[in-house]
């Protein structure tokens, strides 16, 4: 199939991405492929971190893994490649990745178990109370959630650097991790309150419409 059709405007470099977006399936996007790459990278990243591999390789892989979180969103917005799958897959990849790398750091002896348990508990509570709203794509990421993710990514990256090359950074990375966990709990409360409001508002109407009205 010729995705450009008879429209010559689609032959210009500027509009190629737009025309391709009109012809492709909703799930087939570059950002979704990058998000899947982020999930695949977790295997070598977690192995190297858990075994306390030395040198630059674990640091480089963690930087690439964390960087894909920004790259996929930037590409999706700039080239009109946002999708329903991406809205669901991206936050799931973030949560799974942060938890997996944090567990690897616990195995390596860098972080204590209680810090990681807090992340898991918050994720489980949010999944139970706000999971439906997230699944229908009506609860968007709040600013506190973005700050939380940034702090956690920096804390994890610094902890990997401490494990691989600079042990003196362990207390600093742990302090950042504690701050990130606190922000994680705060963001979780925001999501749960938004979902609760949606449920209450939808008691006498369309639930999905009510969730959309409650979106921060």
Over residues 92-129, the pLDDT tens digits come to: 888 889 999 999 999 999 999 998 899 999 988 888 87
Q: What is the pLDDT of residues 40-58, one digit of tens each?
A: 999 999 999 999 999 999 9
- Long-range CB contact pairs, 18-24, < 8 A, 24+: 18/79, 18/80, 21/79, 21/80, 21/81
Predicted pLDDT at 158: 95
40 lies in some domain: yes
120 lies in some domain: yes
**pLDDT band for position 143 (50/70/90)?**
confident
Q: What is the pLDDT of residues 151-176, one digit of tens each?
A: 999 999 999 999 999 999 999 999 99
9 lies in some domain: no
Q: Of 148, 106, 147, 131, nearest to 191 (Cα)?
A: 131
Residue 101 tokens, joined: 């790398």
| Dist CA 213 CA 216 (whole Å) | 8
Output phi, psi for 110, to 5 deg. Answer: -90, -45
Q: What is the largest CA-CA distance in the chain?
A: 63
2 lies in some domain: no
CATH number at residue 123: 1.20.120.1760
5 lies in some domain: no
Predicted pLDDT at 49: 95
Residue in the structure block whose two tokens are 């492929």? 33
- What stretches of 79-169 show up as alpha helix (H) in DSSP? 84-107, 113-135, 143-164
> What is the span of the domain harbouring residue 43?
26-213
Q: Of 5, 127, 116, nearest to 50 (Cα)?
A: 116
**What is the domain count for the chain?**
1
Residue 160 tokens, joined: 């990997």
Residue 81 tokens, joined: 């490649």
Predicted pLDDT at 13: 45
Radius of gyration of the chain (CA): 20
140 lies in some domain: yes
8 lies in some domain: no
């Amino acid at each position: 199939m010729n995705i450009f059709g008879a429209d010559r405007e689609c032959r210009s470099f500027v509009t190629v991405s737009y025309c391709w977006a009109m012809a492709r399936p909703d799930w087939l996007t570059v950002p979704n492929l990058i998000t899947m790459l982020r999930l695949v990278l977790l295997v070598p990243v977690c192995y190297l971190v858990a075994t306390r591999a030395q040198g630059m390789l674990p640091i480089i892989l963690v930087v690439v893994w964390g960087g894909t979180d920004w790259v996929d969103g930037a590409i999706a917005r700039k080239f009109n490649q946002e999708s329903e799958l991406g809205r669901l897959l991206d936050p799931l990849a973030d949560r799974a990745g942060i938890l997996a790398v944090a567990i690897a750091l616990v195995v390596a002896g860098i972080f204590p178990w209680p810090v990681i348990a807090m992340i898991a508990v918050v994720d489980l509570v949010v999944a139970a109370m706000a999971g439906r709203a997230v699944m229908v794509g009506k609860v968007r990421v709040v600013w506190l959630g973005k700050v939380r993710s940034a702090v956690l990514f920096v804390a994890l990256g610094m902890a990997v650097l401490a494990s691989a090359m600079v042990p003196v950074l362990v207390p600093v990375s742990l302090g950042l991790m504690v701050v990130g966990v606190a922000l994680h709990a705060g963001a979780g409360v925001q999501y749960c309150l938004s979902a609760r409001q949606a449920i209450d508002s939808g008691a006498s109407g369309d639930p999905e419409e009510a969730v959309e009205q409650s979106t921060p």
